[in-house]
């Protein structure tokens, strides 16, 4: 019986195993995202745009380095990724006008 003096629906070993599996799956997904990003056309295109248009854009508005850092550290969320994509489209608009 656990310290809280209540019955568990599953053995504690099973609960721990399920939690470990979730962590392993998360680590695998992070690794997959990192690998995909490293070879992605999007990353290459952002680098091109920031190089072409970047001379007219303050360093603080350039996002490739911070995006690379966030992805390589595994510190990225869907919201973060969406904001970065909006930024890319902003650069793209600047490059065609």
Domain count, the chain: 1
- Residue 6 falls inside a structural domain: no
- Residue 7 falls inside a structural domain: no
Per-residue pLDDT tens over the stretch 29-61: 889 988 988 888 888 887 887 787 767 777 777
- Residue 88 falls inside a structural domain: yes
- Residue 47 falls inside a structural domain: yes
Rounded to an integer, what distance in angstroms lies between the CA atom of residue 2 and that of residue 84? Answer: 46
Rounded to an integer, what distance in angstroms lies between the CA atom of residue 63 and that of residue 59? Answer: 8
What ranges make up the beta strands (E) of 1-96?
A: none
Task: Give this prediction's pTM.
Answer: 0.60
Query: Which domain covers residue 88, as residue numbers?
Result: 12-96
- Residue 78 falls inside a structural domain: yes
pLDDT at 10: 87
Per-residue pLDDT tens over the stretch 56-84: 777 777 778 878 888 888 877 766 666 66
- Residue 75 falls inside a structural domain: yes
Q: Which two tokens stand for residue 59?
A: 């360093």
């Amino acid at each position: 019986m656990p310290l809280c003096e209540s019955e568990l629906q599953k053995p504690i070993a099973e609960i721990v195993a399920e939690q470990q599996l979730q962590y392993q799956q998360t680590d695998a997904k992070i690794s997959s995202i990192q690998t995909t990003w490293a070879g992605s056309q999007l990353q290459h295109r952002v680098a091109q745009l920031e190089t072409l248009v970047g001379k007219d854009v303050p360093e603080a508005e350039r996002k490739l380095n911070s995006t690379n850092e966030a992805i390589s550290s595994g510190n990225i969320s869907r919201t973060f990724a969406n904001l970065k994509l909006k930024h890319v489209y902003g650069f793209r608009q600047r490059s065609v006008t």
